[in-house]
Amino acid sequence: MTDTAIHAHGLTKRFGQLVAVNAVNLDVPRACVYGFLGPNGSGKSTTIRMLCGLLTPSEGEIDVLGLRIPQQAEQLKRRIGYMTQKFSLFDDLSVRQNLEFLATVQGLPRQQGKARVDDLLRRYRLDDRTEQLAGTLSGGQKQRLALAGAIVHKPELLLLDEPTSAVDPESRRDFWEKLFELADDGTTILVSTHYMDEAERCHRLAILDNGNLVADGTPKELTAKLQGRTFLIRADAPRKVKEALEDQPDVLSVAQIGNELRVLLRHSDEHVDAFKQRLQRIGLPFDVESVTPSLEDVFVAATRRHEEQAA
Amino acid sequence: MNLRRLWAIMLKELRQLRRDRITLAMIMGIPILQLILFGYAINLNLRHLPAAVADQAQTAGSRAAIQDLLASGVIELHATAQSPQQLVDLLREGRITVGIAVPPDFERRKLDGREAIQVMVDGSDNVVQAAAGQLAQYPLNQPDNFHARVETPISVVSFYNPERRSPVNIVPGLVGVILTMTMVLFTAVAIVRESERGNMELLITTPVSRTELMIGKVLPYAVIGLLQTSIVLLLGVWLFRVPIRGSLWDVYLAASLLILANLSLGLLISTRAKSQFQAMQMTFFVFLPSILLSGFMFPYAGMPPPAQWIAELLPLTHFMRLIRGIMLRGAALGDLWPDSLALAVFIAVMLTLAIRLFHKRLD
Ligand SMILES: Nc1ncnc2c1ncn2[C@@H]1O[C@H](COP(=O)(O)OP(=O)(O)OP(=O)(O)O)[C@@H](O)[C@H]1O
Ligand SMILES: [Mg+2]
């Protein structure tokens, strides 16, 4: 057994003219929480679907848990849990019926299945609504039920497609606690998200943009690369300063946050003072301060760089 | 195939069905409603048609003849008129569907053996027109959509051919029509619905096999089909004293063949349809020719050859022959082996195609 749970090389998916996923290389270590960060339509769901054999790649190779996908997808299906982006359990079955159905379908023996379902109901705090129809649960409850359903057979690999969209921050924190519990037990988890704070929690992450993998690594590695390139500017007329800054060739992006401007530079070799001096030429009053890069900066830097390379 | 998994899918399907009030209502309601509707349409036999009489003879003989007509129960006096022209007006206004004109020389015409009474029928009503068509002896110079006829009351009743339109002939066919309507639709929709709701993406990521999924989803509906068959048969025997001259076992075997044929067809549709609405459209694409060409409505022998070729491809055509043979002529299923075989082949082809075309994939 290798230490790699997922290995993909040159993974590409085309829908007619549209390239939804473009030559993505991916290595996900075992027992790791691996994040997939990307905006809407960046190809997160498509990639996950190819990894579990639901979509056939147009090009590329996939190896998941030592199996060739899509050829050996059927064997893989016993060993993975998949939580779809859209709630996909049965609205018109009760919470318990849903879990019992999945337990049987996943091949758990009757007694063992019952015990497992009871255990999950307790652990995922659904034991007070076992007879409620799944369709009438709240967003957070549905999501707990879906996660319970995905792990009923204790899969080695868990693929979660935006599991926390439309869930309040409290429930999200709660949900991530559960994910780390599972990872501690040795489950590999691939989770897609478009929340920066969630991406920050992952052991490793990949940033997808427009079907391209534009950066990957641990959150620390990724932010470290931007050291010295991020600044915060306070100004009385932020919009005017923003316009002036956007004309500067080495400014990669300027984002207004309240009265402050967050600036990302193309190169990190510039000293704060040099940057300051150059800004003085604009002739507007302001105040510059160096700040630690965030994942959002990483995201912007990676996607901009990619756009320019493409252009 | 794993039997526990198969059972899990069937159980899930039945549980969902129990909560689906509209489908449940359709399962029971359609057979009952259709049977009662067809049964009544048959028993009505053109009774109490609104009529008016213009008696220009006013003799004892003419009054007696009119009384005879009214006594037949076919027509019911709704208005009075003085002249044939007034009858035509009443017909046009839709206040009556039958007008009876007695000419002033009624007695002489009777003596001469000429037509003595004119029955005018509203030709815009199909059923009445069909009746008039059979009566036709000569047309009068009336506005286009009216047919004027001369007849006696007894012959008005007789133009309903009891052979072709009696419940005895309709009920066995109705079993097939109801099964065709509901079975194809239920399965086609049942699978497409899961794709639409996203359940399918979950199901195909589990170790469930294609065959388990297909058969598990279809078998509950086969049971429902047999239930519907029983409802129609029971009501048919009880309300309309429809005979079952062959063996009941053969009736159910024939019904099972049709049910499986329709379920496989439904499955095939479900693999092609992108939405429940599309599944419904495709179902009607099959249902309409079935109704029109299978011999349920119009005799097969009277159809042009191309229509007959299409009819041979429809399961309902073969079932119609089987069920009428078994129930009405007391034939055994074995005697009717060509049609049984045709259904079996249909099932095998459709099911194979459906399982082949269904992939545990999204693309
Ligand atoms: N079956 C399909 N047919 C055609 N185009 C598709 C199909 N599935 C996805 N796409 C396209 O591929 C691109 C990537 O879609 P995908 O669902 O993978 O994005 P995503 O990152 O999951 O987005 P989101 O955050 O909105 O879920 C989109 O432009 C989408 O329109
Ligand atoms: Mg998605």
Distance CA(A34)–CA(A187), nearest Å, equals: 11
Residues with CB under 5 A from ligand 2 (ion): A 44-45, 85
What's the pLDDT score for residue B301?
80
CA distances from B348 to B213, B261, B344, B352, B354 (A): 17, 8, 6, 6, 10
Our CA-based measurement puts residue A267 at a distance from the nearest CA of chain B, in whole angstroms, of: 44
Type of residue at A260: E
Minimal Cα distance from B202: which residue of A? Answer: A88
Helix axes B210-240, B248-272, angle to 10 degrees: 140
Greatest CA span in chain B, whole angstroms?
Answer: 90
CB A115 within 8 A of CB A75: no
Please tell me which of A96-110, B104-118, B124-138, B288-302 the model is most confident about, judged by mean pLDDT: A96-110
A38 CA: nearest ligand 1 atom? 21
Which ipTM score applies to this complex?
A: 0.86
- Rounded-to-integer distance, Cα A14 and Cα A21, Å: 7
Per the prediction, chain B carries an average pLDDT of 82
Task: Tell me the mean pLDDT in the region B205-222.
Answer: 91
Which pLDDT score, from 0 to 100, does residue B171 have? 84
Instruction: Find out whether A138 and A87 touch, Cβ atoms under 8 Å.
Output: no
What is the reported pLDDT for B90?
Answer: 87
Find how far residue B230's CA is from the centre of its chain. 17
Superfamily for the A4-218 domain = P-loop containing nucleotide triphosphate hydrolases (3.40.50.300)
Contact between A153 and A107 under an 8 Å Cβ cutoff? The reply is: yes
* Polymer length in residues for chain A: 311
Whose CA is closest to B92, among B41, B39, B46, B145? B145
Q: What is the pLDDT of residue B73?
A: 66
Q: Is A146 within 8 Å of A91 (Cβ atoms)?
A: no
Site of tokens 């790791």:
A32
In this structure, what are the phi and psi dihedrals at residue B126, rounded to the nearest 5 degrees?
-55, -50
Each domain of chain B, given as residue ranges in start order, spans 3-42+165-357, 49-136
pLDDT tens profile B214-238: 889 889 999 999 999 999 999 988 8
Q: Which of A42, A212, A303 is the best mutation target for the ligand 1 pocket, counting ligand atoms within 8 Å of the beta carbon and taking the most? A: A42
Superfamily of domain B49-136: abc type-2 transporter like domain (3.40.1710.10)
| B130 neighbors B81 (Cβ within 8 angstroms) | no
Instruction: Give residue-wise pLDDT tens across range B80-109.
Output: 888 888 988 888 888 888 888 888 988 888
Is B207's CB within 8 Å of A77's CB? yes
Residue B250 has pLDDT above 70, yes or no: yes
Dig out the tokens for A201 from the structure.
Answer: 């929690």
Please report the pLDDT score of residue B128 as a whole number: 65
At residue A111, the pLDDT reads: 94
Q: Which of B19-33, B66-80, B214-228 has the lowest mean pLDDT?
A: B66-80
Shortest CA distance to A105 belongs to which of B53, B10, B338, B283? B10
Structure tokens at B137: 């002896």
pLDDT for B162 equals 36
B5 in A contact zone (CB under 8 Å)? yes
A50 and B CB contact within 8 Å: no
Kindly state the percentage of chain B with pLDDT values over 90.
Answer: 36
Q: How many CA within 13 A on the CB side of residue A197?
A: 7
How far is residue B131's CA from residue B251's CA, in Å, rounded to a whole number? 34
Report which bound ligand comes closest to the CA of A194. Answer: 1
| Better-predicted residue by pLDDT, A228 or B181 | B181
SS3 sequence of A50-96: HHCCCCCCCEEEEEECCEEECCCHHHHCCCEEEECCCCCCCCCCEHH
Q: Quick check: A74 and B360 CB within 8 A?
A: yes
B201 to chain A nearest CA, in Å?
Answer: 7
pLDDT for B147 equals 38
Alpha-carbon radius of gyration of chain A: 23
Q: How confident is the model at residue B148 (pLDDT cuts 50, 70, 90)?
A: very low
Q: Which residues of chain A have pLDDT under 70?
A: 1-2, 269-271
**CA distance linking residue A46 with residue A57, whole number of Å:** 9
In the CATH hierarchy, which fold is given to the domain comprising A228-291?
Answer: Alpha-Beta Plaits (3.30.70)
pLDDT category at B70 given cuts 50, 70, 90 is: confident
